[in-house]
Amino acid sequence: MSSTAFQVMKFGGSSVGSPRRLRQVVELIGRHAKQGPLAVVVSAMGDTTDWLLEAAALATAGELDTALTVVARIAHLAKTNAAALLPEQSAALAARVDTLLAPLQQLLQGISLTRECSPPSKERVLSFGERVSATLLAELLTAAGTPATFQDATKLLVTDDRFGAARVDVARTRERLQAAVGGWRASVPVIPGFIAATADGRVTTLGRNGSDYTAALVAQGIDAKEVTVWTDVLGLHTADPDIVSDAYPVAHLTHAEGLELAAVGVRMLHPRTMIPLIESGISLRIRNTMHPDHPGTLIDAIGSRDGQRPTCIATREDLALLGIEVRKLADQFQLGERVLAALREAQVTVWLSTQSANGQSIAVVVPRPDVARAQASLERELSQEQTRNEVEPLAIRQPVTLLTLVAEAMGHGVNVAGRFFSALGAVGVNVRASAQGASSRSISCVVDAADTAIAVRTTHAAFNLAHQQVSLFLLGRGTVGGQVLAQLRSQQALLKEKHGIALRVVGLADSRRALFDPAGLPLDGLEERLARVEPVDPEKRTLVPLLDELRRLPVPILVDCTAASGLESLYTAAFQRGIHVVGANKKPLALPWNDREALLGEARRHHVAYHYETTVASSLPVIDTLANLVRTGDTVRLITASLSGSLGFICNELAAGVPLSAAVHAARERGYTEPDPREDLSGTDVARKALILARELGLPLSLSDVALEPFVPAEPRPDTSVESFLQGLKALDAAYAERVARCRQSGTVLRYLARIDPSKVGTGTPVIRVGPVPVEVGHAAADLRGSESFVSFTTTRHSDYPLTVRGAGAGGAVTASGVLADILRISQTLRGR
C-alpha cells in the first residue's frame, strides 16, 4: 500500500452536535488533511435522525404543522452550530440550510395528504440529516482554510431496494468510488453517512451504525489504510463504564476480536462495519473528539502482542430466554433447525442459541420486545401433528442479560471458562445458559437482569484488574471498628501492591448515623466526618437501602464490629442480596438454635461467606481449627478454654496484688472489656463464646443450657450506670484480695474457664460450664500472661497431647486484625489464591 493511501475519518452525531464539538472537528480535519489524503464521513447533527422520525410519524398522522415545527427545530440546530463557527456568513449559511430542507417540507406535506409513509418515502425523510450535516461541514472546512467538497453518497454507494435494511452492491460501489477518488486529493471529500441509493437512484439507508458502515465501505472502495471513528469515548472499554467504574480503554484488538464484540452487540461496532475492513486488511481506530491526543483503540489484523492483554466484557440487556424441550430423541424432530427457522421467519433476532448434547433441549435468547412474536411462532411450529404431544410447554425467563467475554488470548490459556463461572458463582449469580465458540475467542452466558451489574463488575475484576476490589460497609466505630479503620489506613497500599487486594470502605455506620459512597470514603478523618452527620432515631432508621447499593459493588462485605443486639435481620438482608458478612459480634450466633441455623442456612442458600473467627478469641484461629478437626473426621472429646482476655488480664492483675476495682478499670482503659464491663464480669460474654464453640460441634444448645458462675456476682440494681458500677467494685476489693491469697497458699492461680464436654449430652449434666476456678501450676491456663487466651482441644487424634491455640485474646487492635484476616479470606478465595 502506498504511503499516499487515503485515511477515512468518520464523525458521529455527538461530534458535530454542538458548536464546541463542531469547532473541534474542523480543527482535527484541518490538522490531519495536512498529513496526507483524507476522506470524511459524517452523521446527522445531534438528535436530528430521531427528530426526522418524529416528523415523519406526525405527517403520517396528518399533523403537518407540528411536523414542520420539528423541521424548524432541525434547521435551528444546524444554523446555530454553523453560525457559531462562521458568524460573518451566518445569513448565507442559514439560507443554505433552508434550501436543503425545502424538499423535506414538501415531502412531509405529501405524506400528510396521503396519510401514508411508504418505506421509500421514509428513507428520503431520514436522508436529510446527513445531507445537511455534510454540506455545512464542507463549507466550514473551506472557510477555515481546508478545501473541502460535499460528495453525494447516493451517487457513490449502490444498494438493492430493501428499504430500511438495504444490502450494498460492493462491486458496483467500488467501481463508483474508484472513479471518484481521483478528484479527491485537491480537497477533502465530505460524505454523508448512513445513506445510499439503488442503481436507479432511489434513496436508501444502511440501518443501525450506518455511518460507520459507510466509512468502512468508502475505505474498502478507495483502498484506504485506516478508518478512524471519532466519537465521545476514549475507545472500546474493557466493560461499560456506566457499570464498572474501573473499566478502561483497550489499546489494541484484532479484527476477529472486534467482530466478536460486534456480534454480541457492542454499541460502537457492527458486523457489517467490520467485514469490509477484515476483507481488505484495513485497520479501524476509535478515538475521542474532545481528547484528540489519546490514541484510543486500534483494531487490526495483528492485535496486541501482550500475553496479558485485557479482556472485554460486553453486555446485551433487555432480553428473554426461551427454553424448548422434547420428550423423545430430538433427531426425529430436528429441534434446533426448526426452532431457528421459525424465529428467522418471524424476523426475531437470536442473540444466543445453545443446544443440549443429545439435542433434546434448546435455549435461545431474543429481544424482550419480540417475545410474544417469538412465542407464537414457536408454538405454531411445534404444535404440528407429529410433535404436538412430544414437546414440553415453552419456558420463558425475562428479563435477562447476555454477558460475553471476548479476548484473543482466551483461546491460548487454560481454565478461562472455569474462572468465568467460578467468579460468578462466588457472588451467587446463577448462570441460566452458556455458550462458547469453536475459536475459544469468546464465551457467553445468560444471567438474570437483576444480576447484571454485579456479574459484570465481578467478571471484570476477575479478568482485567491486577487487584481484587473489595467493598466494605463497616458497622461500628468504637474500639474494634476504630482499629479496623486504623489498620486499613496503614495496610491499604501494601495489600494492593503485594497481595493484589484493594480494600475500599464504602460505608460506615454507628447506632444513629451512616455514611455511604459507592466510589469509596476517604479513610482520613472518617470517624469525625461520621460524627458530624445528623443523628437519626435508631427505631426509625434502616440500613437496608444501603445494602441495595452495596450489593452492586465489587465483592461487597458487611463488617459488624459492634456488640449490638438484633442485627440478625440485617445479616439476613445482606445474605439475600449476595453480600458477605464478617462479624465480631457474638450475639447473632447466640440466638436460639433454630434461629442461628436459619441464619447460617441463609448464607449457604445465597452462596455467600459468613466469617466470625473473632467472636471467640479475637484473632486466634480457634473456630477455623475446630472446623478443620471436625471436617477431617476427628472426634472432639473435651474443650477447655480461657476465652476472656479481659478476665485473664484481671486475674493476673489480682495475682500481682492490684485491687479488683483498679484491675477492672485498667482492663477497660486498655480496650480489653466490652463497652459495659458487666458483660465480661458476669461471665455472659464467655458463655456466648463457649456456646458458639459447642454449636460448631453440632450441639443444639442454648445460653440457658450453660452452667454459669459469674466472675463478679450480679449487682442488685441492673439499671445502675457503668460509672456507678465501677465505683461500687471498691466494696469487693478486700474479698477478692482474700480469695487470691487463698489460691496462693494452695499453690494455685485464679482463672475464669469454660469447659465443653460433649460426652455429657443426654446425661442431665451440663455440657458447658463457665466460671472462676483455681488451677494448679502446670495447667495450660496457669501461666497465661496479660490478656492471653487459650483453647485446648482433646480429641481422638490429640488425646495424649491436646491441641492448644494460645495468644492475645483481647484488645481492639488484636480483634481488628482478626476481622481484617476474615475479610482477606473472602477476598483471596474469590481471587483464586
| 77-92: pLDDT as tens digits | 999 999 999 999 999 9
Find out whether 473 and 509 touch, Cβ atoms under 8 Å. yes
Give the pLDDT confidence score for residue 723 in this predicted structure. Answer: 87
- Catalytic machinery residues: 689
603-612, 716-725, 823-832: which range is least confident on average? Answer: 823-832
Residue 812: what pLDDT?
84
Query: What is residue 309's predicted lDDT score, i.e. its pLDDT?
Result: 65
Least confident of 79-93, 229-243, 378-392, 736-750: 378-392
The answer on pLDDT for 634 being more than 50 is yes
Mean pLDDT for 523-537 is: 90
Confidence grade of residue 414 (pLDDT, cut at 50, 70, 90): low
Q: What is the pLDDT of residue 551?
A: 84
User: What pLDDT is stored for residue 4 in this prediction?
Assistant: 80
Question: Could you identify the residue written with the cell 449457604?
Answer: 604
- Write the class of the CATH domain 468-612: alpha beta
Q: What is the mean pLDDT of residues 55-63?
A: 95
Burial of 417 from C-beta contacts in 10 A (0-12 / 13-18 / 19+):
middle
Q: 470-481, pLDDT tens digit by residue?
A: 899 999 988 899
Task: Please determine, for residue 329, whether its predicted confidence score (pLDDT) is greater than 60.
Answer: no
Compute the average pLDDT of residues 303-311.
68
pLDDT value at residue 466: 60
Element (H, E) at 337: helix 335-345
Q: How high is the pLDDT of residue 49?
A: 93
Q: In this predicted model, what pLDDT tens digit does every residue of 481-518 receive, in sequence order?
A: 999 999 999 988 888 877 778 899 999 999 899 999 98
pTM over 0.85: no
SS3 324: strand
Can you give the pLDDT at residue 1? 37
The side-by-side arrangement of strands in the sheet containing 203-205 is: 158-159, 195-198, 203-205
What is the tens place of the pLDDT at every residue in 417-458? 888 888 888 777 889 998 886 666 788 899 999 889 888 888
Q: What percent of the chain has pLDDT over 70?
A: 94
Neighbours of 796 (CB within 10 A): 11
Is the torsion defined by CA of 764, 768, 772, 775 positive or negative?
A: positive
CATH of domain 312-464: 3.30.2130.10
Selection from 11-20, 334-343, 716-725 with the highest mean pLDDT? 11-20
Per the CB < 8 A criterion, the answer to whether 96 and 135 are in contact is: yes
Q: How many CB atoms lie within 10 A of CB 147?
A: 11
Mean pLDDT computed over every residue of the chain: 89
Determine the pLDDT at residue 357.
Answer: 67
- 573 or 260: which leads in pLDDT: 573
Of the candidates 509, 597, 519, the one whose C-alpha atom is nearest the C-alpha of residue 560 is 509
Where in the chain are the domains? 7-232, 312-464, 468-612, 622-808
Handedness of CA 727, 729, 732, 734 (dihedral sign): negative
Q: State the first-to-last Cα distance of the chain, in angstroms, to the nearest integer.
A: 49
pLDDT tens sequence across 94-109 = 999 999 999 999 999 9
**CB neighbour list of residue 39: distance below 8 Å, 6 or more residues apart:** 6, 7, 8, 9, 184, 188, 189, 191, 218, 219, 222, 224
Among the listed residues 310, 291, 205, 290, the one whose alpha carbon sits nearest the alpha carbon of residue 249: 310
pLDDT digits (tens, 9 = 90+) for 161-176: 988 778 999 999 999 9
Q: Lowest-pLDDT range, 328-342, 570-584, 814-828?
A: 328-342
The domain 7-232 having CATH identifier 3.40.1160.10: the answer here is yes
Instruction: Give the residue-averaged pLDDT of 613-640.
Output: 93
Query: Is it true that domain 622-808 has CATH number 3.30.360.10?
Result: yes
**Type of residue numbered 625:** T
How high is the pLDDT of residue 674?
Answer: 76
Q: Is the pLDDT of residue 129 over 90?
A: yes
pLDDT for the residue numbered 672: 84
